[in-house]
Amino acid sequence: DTGVSQDPRHKITKRGQNVTFRCDPISEHNRLYWYRQTLGQGPEFLTYFQNEAQLEKSRLLSDRFSAERPKGSFSTLEIQRTEQGDSAMYLCASSRLSSGKETQYFGPGTRLLVL
Amino acid sequence: GEDVEQSLFLSVREGDSSVINCTYTDSSSTYLYWYKQEPGAGLQLLTYIFSNMDMKQDQRLTVLLNKKDKHLSLRIADTQTGDSAIYFCAEWMDSSYKLIFGSGTRLLVRP
């Protein structure tokens, strides 16, 4: 069990550019979540997958954001035409429902800075 | 509604106990969690409590749940400088399959 990994750990981009982040969940976990965390706040839910199906998207996820999990393993989060307000830490978490309990394990995050 | 609230800051002396408080709004939450976040890092799961329990102890950590008042607390015994971090309380929303986080309590442990 190597834990949840995210790549890259840091990304600096210019406004208007597209960026893509990757998340590799814990191998036996079938649920994968994306969160956004801004300074001084807790993580805010963006979207989640059960296997390859994207089951819910937050209102925070504008049409510039798209997430995929094509084979039910790793996931990507793409932000098109980035804006300065997109600067944040993007966290991925994975979980496996067991005995009715959902425990999410988080990756180290990708910190995005949009100039 | 979905809202989890925490006090922003707590300062304690090394060796003392720390108590971090949290209130939540959804009475149907089945699980409540405490996570720890160190600077520049992701969230580390510390402990959780099922809603039909009122206390859970795990080494130096004690979680107390008052379901009537929707109040959750995390007590850290013999607080160490390595415990300095931001602590997040989160409630699990069965209805929508997501965690709702508070804004975090920054714990500073003074030597």
Summarize pLDDT for B74-101 with one digit per residue, the tens.
999 999 999 999 999 999 877 777 889 9
Q: Which residue has the tokens 């979680």?
A: B63
Q: What is the DSSP string of A96-107?
A: --BTTB---EE-
Residue B1 above 60 pLDDT? no
Judge whether B41 is closer than 8 Å to chain A, CB to CB: yes
pLDDT digits (tens, 9 = 90+) for B4-23: 999 999 999 999 999 999 99
Taking the Cβ of residue B103 and every Cβ of chain A, the question of whether any pair is shorter than 8 Å is answered with yes
* Average pLDDT in chain B: 92
DSSP B67: T
Number of A/B CB contacts below 8 angstroms equals: 57
Q: Which residues pair with B71 in a beta bridge?
A: B23, B66
Q: Is B4 at the interface with chain A, CB within 8 A?
A: yes
The percent of residues in chain B predicted with pLDDT above 70, rounded, is 98
Query: Which tens digits make up the pLDDT trace of A9-48?
Result: 999 999 999 999 999 999 989 999 999 999 889 999 999 9
> CA of A107, closest CA in chain B: separation in Å?
6
**Is the CB of A4 inside 8 Å of chain B's CB atoms?**
yes
Distance CA A61, CA B13 (A): 42
| pLDDT value of residue B30 | 82
